[in-house]
Chain A
Amino acid sequence: MHSEETVDPSQVILWSDDYEGHDPISTRTFGFWMYVLSDGMLFATLFAAYGVLSYSHSYYTGPTPAQFVAPWYTFIQTMALFLSVLAYGFAMTALKNGNKAGVINAIIAAMVLGGVFIGLDIHDVLRMIRIGATPETSGGLSAFYALTQVHAAHIFVGLLWMLVMLYQILRQGFSEDVVGRLLSLRMFWQFQAVMWVFIYVFVYLWGYMS
């Protein structure tokens, strides 16, 4: 049944007056999650490049991962990164309770542990260069360096971001912008640990055993 009511265009209500608008924090974190996944695609291309350049002929007569990877050394790096992610998680639980000192301490702990990861990575690169495993030696090594060092660069950017967040927390407190950025940084930091699992197992460990 159609009602034949006339609608007065100047009176009609198109949307509710109490519409609350988009939730800015959720909109931002969803957008940032899209970025994080596109970052995952960047890693996918590097994994693909490493995959096609990790045959034994890719290393030609130069060193192969079986000769330069030290599994337990890289395991310590793994633990530094996982602990850093855990520390950042504790920053989020402190944020949940509005505990500013807790957030700051946990972010500093996450930065120190992330710094340990970067320090171990640089030390490892210097060791590899000393034994002659430099990026220009072979296609396999170029792909190895590209993948592992792009990940290290992400960690470095994450550390800078944490430093900026410490400053913003001290200056602005837990404003909507600061809280939104802390949530985005949480996803970024945790995602680097997920990518590291793939790098550690499929590049370091698999390279070592083959």
Chain B
Amino acid sequence: MSHGHSNPIHHPEVQMASRRNYLTGFVIASLLMFAATWLVSAQALAPFGLLLAIMGCAGFAVIAQVYFLLHIDISEHNIWNTVALVMFIPLFVITIGLTWWMFSQLYLRTMPMIPGMPGMH
């Protein structure tokens, strides 16, 4: 046991729990998911606008969860978690985005259009 923290409950990672933050994160994410579900099921926008709108909902919901729930901020105690997340985001985006881009280009150039087969889109 280290000498500094005789009682683990006094550790800053325990003490940073906040009922108000958890509620805020929950309410923001829930409202955004409700909005996205309503937009899609009501077909409220044209397809491209709808896609942008639900992407926005997902983005803000994730930011709210990461900030209010996971305590990712630039406070002294959490800075290294934040740095690790900042390093992780490009890997996440590149893995998905580059794979998707490569395959979409591949399909475009190689998939024959057989009559009767569903199209590319």
Contacts and interface: CB of A to CB of B under 8 A. Distances in A.
B37 A205 contact: yes
Nearest to A53: B103
Contacts of B69: 85, 89, 190, 193
Interface stretch (A42-50, A116-124, A150-158, A162-170): A42-50
Interface in A155-185: 174-176, 178-180, 183
Contacts of B103: 51-52
Contacts of B100: 48, 51-52
A90 B23 CA distance: 9
Given A52-B100, A92-B17, A179-B8, 20 more contacts: A23-B2, A23-B4, A25-B11, A25-B13, A45-B95, A48-B96, A52-B99, A57-B118, A57-B120, A59-B118, A60-B118, A74-B37, A86-B23, A90-B22, A179-B9, A190-B69, A193-B69, A194-B65, A197-B29, A209-B50
19 contacts: A23-B4, A23-B5, A29-B13, A30-B81, A33-B84, A41-B88, A47-B96, A48-B99, A52-B104, A57-B119, A60-B118, A71-B41, A79-B30, A179-B8, A179-B14, A205-B37, A205-B40, A208-B40, A209-B50
A68 interface: no
A20 B4 contact: yes
B70 to A, nearest CB: 5
A130 interface: no
A51 B96 contact: yes
Given A23-B5, A47-B96, A179-B9, A72 B121 contact: no
B22 to A, nearest CB: 3
B51 A206 contact: yes
Interface string B50-63: 11001101100110
If over half of B's interface residues share one DSSP class (helix, strand or loop), that class is named, otherwise mixed; here it is helix
Contacts of B58: 197-198, 201-202
Contact of A56 (B37, B51, B96, B120): B120
A210 interface: yes
B105 to A, nearest CB: 11
A37 interface: yes
Contacts of A47: 95-96
A40 interface: yes
Contacts of B91: 41, 44
B43 interface: yes
A86 B22 contact: yes
Nearest to B111: A57
A75 B111 CA distance: 35
A96 B17 contact: yes
